[in-house]
């Protein structure tokens, strides 16, 4: 199948992105020429130079709001086919191949693509993100946190959040797919432009995907269930070498930097239960200690939301189970921090000094 943007050159040039459209047009062009004629020798360099002077592009950037209008789209498709010499009057070698049918089919395929307009839908997605911000705040007031509230789904507003989560996920899945289809240079520019929005979305919404997974009894979300588009958004952030540092002054308002944090909490809870069932406890205790160190490092970097300290959060539940396993005399950097509840308030305002 064709991939990316094809610029097809005849006496004029035109471009298409939909792989099915490209395939049909290439078949039609092949059918126009005498099959015994063979390939013509062309001056590729002059063709490329001429593209600066004359090109009919599928982007429809000059049509503005008429881009998704069926009549305007049909006219644009017809102009593109004419630029390649594909008009209703020409005779094709394939008797069952009709130019009008090709134009209609191309219009349908391109219209499906153009209905997804990232820029136009972005404002709607901002509204959905604002709704989730409100949901996060409301859940915090209940001393539960939005992760656990969504996982439990005991209130009507939890189901409203489900709708916002699905709309945002659908949008960003399409966005990531669109970027991956673009040529490397164009895709890189696109990723940079949308990096902030994609990162904020991932940090807000991926915990909800994690909550869905563990509510249904899932295990090892990161390796078994994590969506490709979450991974891709995170990879693009890493490629951009954007620092994860946060200001102490703003820590109360941040989203946890590691969007898989709650998956690690759930795995730690499973390890606590596993510890009661296994005879060989050393390996399980080692994994729990590694999680303990992971949490403490996030705290030291001020890259974790203070919402994890809410009384009914899964993190606090893990800590209570872990503390019971280790005993009241257990001493560690995290234990020293967690055993004094006043530290949570100091952390939330950026006033706690880690040793």
User: Domain ranges in the chain?
Assistant: 6-115, 116-235, 243-354
Res. 37: pLDDT tops 50: yes
Mean pLDDT across the stretch 187-195?
A: 71
Mean pLDDT across the stretch 191-220?
A: 92
Residues 175 and 167: their CA atoms lie apart, in Å, by 12
Residues 230 and 152: their CA atoms lie apart, in Å, by 23
Are the CB atoms for 62 and 126 separated by under 8 Å? no
Q: Report CA torsion sign: 212, 230, 266, 319.
A: negative
Q: How far is residue 307 from each of residues 68, 129, 281, measured CA to CA in Å? A: 44, 18, 31
Where does 33-181 have alpha helices with state H? 44-50, 70-83, 99-114, 118-141, 146-152, 156-181
Between 120-129, 195-204, 266-275, the lowest mean confidence (pLDDT) is in 120-129
| Helix, coil or strand: residue 42 | coil
Res. 66: pLDDT tops 50: no
Mean pLDDT across the stretch 8-34?
A: 72
What is the model's pLDDT at position 65?
40
- Residue 329, judged by CB atoms within 10 A of its CB (0-12, 13-18, 19+), counts as exposed
Q: What is the DSSP string of 141-198?
A: HTTS-HHHHHHH--SHHHHHHHHHHHHHHHHHHHHHHHHHHS-HHHHHHHHHHHHHHH
Are the CB atoms for 337 and 299 separated by under 8 Å? yes
Classify the phi-psi angles of 304: left when phi > 0, otherwise alpha if psi is within -120 to 50, otherwise beta. Answer: beta
What is the model's pLDDT at position 314?
97
- pLDDT tens readout for residues 114-143: 545 555 577 778 889 999 999 999 999 988
Mean pLDDT, rounded, of the chain = 81
What is the model's pLDDT at position 304?
95
Mean pLDDT across the stretch 76-94?
A: 62
What is the model's pLDDT at position 63?
40
| Helix, coil or strand: residue 13 | strand
pTM over 0.85: no
Res. 250: pLDDT tops 50: yes
Residue indicated by tokens 């059918």: 31
What is the model's pLDDT at position 64?
40
What is the model's pLDDT at position 20?
78
DSSP state of 67: G
Residues 238 and 217: their CA atoms lie apart, in Å, by 31
Between 228-237, 241-250, 288-297, the lowest mean confidence (pLDDT) is in 241-250
């Amino acid at each position: 199948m064709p991939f990316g943007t094809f610029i097809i050159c005849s006496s004029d040039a035109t471009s298409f992105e939909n792989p099915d459209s490209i395939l049909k047009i290439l078949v039609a062009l092949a059918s126009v020429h005498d099959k015994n004629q063979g390939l013509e020798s062309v001056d590729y360099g002059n063709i490329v130079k001429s593209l600066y002077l004359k090109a009919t592009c599928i982007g429809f950037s000059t049509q503005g709001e008429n881009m998704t209008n069926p009549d305007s789209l049909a006219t644009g498709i017809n102009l593109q086919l004419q630029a390649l010499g594909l008009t209703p009057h020409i005779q094709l070698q394939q008797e069952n191949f009709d130019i009008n049918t090709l134009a209609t089919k191309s219009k349908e395929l391109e219209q499906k693509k153009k209905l997804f307009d990232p820029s136009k839908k972005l404002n709607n997605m901002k509204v959905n993100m604002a709704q989730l911000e409100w949901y996060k705040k409301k859940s915090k007031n209940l001393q539960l946190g939005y992760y656990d509230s969504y996982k439990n789904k005991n209130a009507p507003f939890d189901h409203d959040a489900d709708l916002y989560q699905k709309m945002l996920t659908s949008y960003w899945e399409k966005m990531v797919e669109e970027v991956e289809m673009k040529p490397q240079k164009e895709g890189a520019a696109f990723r940079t432009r949308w990096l902030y929005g994609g990162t904020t979305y991932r940090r807000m919404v991926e915990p909800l995907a994690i909550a869905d997974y563990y509510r249904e009894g899932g295990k090892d979300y990161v390796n078994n269930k994590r969506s490709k588009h979450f991974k891709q958004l995170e990879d693009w952030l890493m490629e951009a070498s954007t620092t994860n540092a946060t200001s102490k002054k703003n820590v109360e308002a941040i989203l946890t930097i590691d969007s898989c944090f709650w998956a690690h909490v759930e795995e730690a809870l499973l390890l606590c239960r596993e510890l009661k069932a296994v005879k060989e406890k050393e390996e399980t205790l080692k994994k729990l200690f590694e999680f303990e160190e992971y949490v403490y490092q996030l705290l030291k970097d001020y890259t974790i939301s203070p919402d994890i300290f809410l009384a009914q959060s899964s993190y606090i539940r893990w800590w209570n189970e872990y503390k019971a396993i280790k005993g009241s005399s257990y001493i560690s950097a995290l234990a020293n921090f967690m055993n004094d509840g006043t530290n949570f308030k100091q952390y939330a305002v950026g006033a706690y000094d880690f040793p």
